[in-house]
Amino acid sequence: MKIAILDYKNCSLIPIYYSIKTHNVSVEIIQNLNEMDKFDKLVLPGVGATNQIMGYLNENNLTDKIKLFAKKKKILGICAGMQIMAKKLYENDKCEGLGFFDADVISINSKVYSQTTNIGWSNINTDNSSYYFCHSYYLNFYDKNDNEIIASINLKKKVPAVIKKNNVIGVQFHPEKSQRNGRNFLYNFLYDKL
């Protein structure tokens, strides 16, 4: 199995690279998707401003290639990598996302949480497992009962933590920083158990 991690020059690569590598799979950090047929799965890593990430993807003609990849093979988006899967992004400048999910990415405010950033360990509501989060924006789905929201965390309101649609999976937490639970999550993604 070959896993690609897309480097969009504004992301945290090394922790997720080594976290995936421990599962005895081949993993490469790539800058383009010209050889996407040789990879089985694609990871969009976390950390970074979503408008800058989308700017990089658009400038380097990667947006359509990611969408094409998703038609055939699985993609995992982590934190900011999940947020760019929404339709509209409001971090810094408003921009279009990849449009996989009917949601906007908006800032955490006092109606959502007591602080502007959710940082630290939170339990997801599906199995009460704890994962490490660090985000100031979140996916606000147009339909709060959307069945593509697989798991949430409970702040002042429910915030999506795991989303899934066809071949596309997004997580707001960082599996590479979530110790055993994160390792188990990556295993389940790699071996098609999600």
CA 44 to chain CA centroid, Å, is 6
Phi, psi of 5 (to 5 degrees): -110, 120
The torsion of the CA quartet 180, 181, 186, 189, rounded to 10 degrees, works out to 140
Q: Which of the residues 91, 135, 148, 176 is marked catalytic?
A: 176
Judge whether 79 counts as a catalytic residue: yes
Element (H, E) at 96: strand 95-96
Burial class (CB in 10 A: 0-12, 13-18, 19+), 3: buried
113 by DSSP, 3-state: which?
coil
Amino acid at 106: I
Judge whether 174 counts as a catalytic residue: yes
* Beta-sheet strand order (sheet of 101-107): 95-96, 86-89, 101-107, 137-141
Q: Which of the residues 11, 79, 95, 135 is marked catalytic?
A: 79
- Residues belonging to the active site: 79, 174, 176
